[in-house]
Amino acid sequence: MEIVWKSHKIESPYLFRQIGKWDGIKIHRARVLPGKMPEQISDFHEMNITLGGKLTTEKCSASGKFVKTKSETGNLCFTPAGQSVGAYWNAPIDSLGIMLVPDFVKQTALENRFSSNFEFAEIYKRQDALIQQIALTLLDEDKSESPSGRLYTDSLIQTLTLYLLKNYSNANSIKESLNGGLSGYKLRRVREFIDANLEEDLSLAELAEVADLSQFHFSRAFRKSTGQTPQHYLMEQRIERAKELLAKEDLPLVEISLRTGFKNQSHFTTLFRKFTNLTPKLWRELKLA
């Protein structure tokens, strides 16, 4: 992305910058000094949300009409891939950018029984608190010292992508009945798979494949069958496995944390306390007393 800054060359234009990348999506937040982004075409579906300050966008719509929009705090600008957009800001701004890979969005649509041919709408000025919340949550998760894991971020990305397809495109979905949740056989397979792979950073795609469902429909069916999200169930099982291992006095806490899929001992302690109100060390002392 080309940007022409108005600041002095020896002064960094970035007052704050944070970038998060996952399969199919990139999120960028920055507080920047005044500048201009010349009109350009992106290969991604791009959304920009102004979190603070004022931003003026200039773009040529798909119909050939020139559109100039002055955006203030909370405004969303959505530019589908292949469309041009430019912008300028005369004072510092806080901006949140979301970029989605078109092939990733199309694949998500197909997996979730949407029509394969669809177009996103060009949005110039709209408020959407859910998109903003999901994007900021993903950035917080990416920099967290105690991340919830891949299953959590996959669920957020899936929710965001499907929300965009339903509310910002002309894609039609084919309704799929899930009144009964997962069958007993599929639920047992998923539980056995989780139990056998607790030390792994499991993805939503892996669990959905075991159940032979799309990621979105798997999440809904699993919750209907168990009353829990896949992420919460996974964490609960990790804590239960940790309790079993803590009962063995010879195993160090760092080894237990790795065997139960936590990033490190600090991450393990944080989540264990969240579920039990006790640290692993204190739980072990009480158990072996």
Look up the CATH number of the domain holding residue 90. 2.60.120.10
Question: Could you tell me if 85 and 42 are in contact, meaning their C-beta atoms sit under 8 angstroms apart?
Answer: yes
Question: Could you tell me if 90 and 34 are in contact, meaning their C-beta atoms sit under 8 angstroms apart?
Answer: yes
Question: Could you tell me if 75 and 91 are in contact, meaning their C-beta atoms sit under 8 angstroms apart?
Answer: no
Q: What is the pLDDT along the chain (289 residues), one digit of tens a residue?
A: 778 888 766 678 899 999 999 999 999 999 999 999 998 898 999 999 999 999 998 887 777 778 888 888 899 999 999 988 899 999 999 999 999 999 999 999 988 888 878 999 988 878 999 999 999 999 999 988 778 889 999 999 999 999 999 999 998 876 555 566 889 999 999 999 999 999 999 999 999 999 998 888 898 899 999 999 999 999 999 999 999 999 987 889 999 999 999 888 888 998 899 999 999 999 998 888 7
Q: Is residue 75 part of a domain?
A: yes
Domain assignment of residue 150, given as a range: 4-168
> For the chain, what is the domain count?
1
Q: Is residue 73 part of a domain?
A: yes
Q: Is residue 260 part of a domain?
A: no
Q: Is residue 123 part of a domain?
A: yes
Q: Is residue 257 part of a domain?
A: no
Q: Is residue 38 part of a domain?
A: yes
Positions of E strands within the chain: 4-5, 14-22, 25-32, 35-41, 45-52, 55-60, 66-71, 75-79, 84-89, 93-100, 123-127
Q: Is residue 187 part of a domain?
A: no
Q: Residue 120 gets which letter from DSSP?
A: B
DSSP-assigned beta bridge partners for residue 98: 27, 47
Q: Rounded to two decimals, what is the model's pTM? A: 0.84
DSSP helix/strand/coil, 28: strand
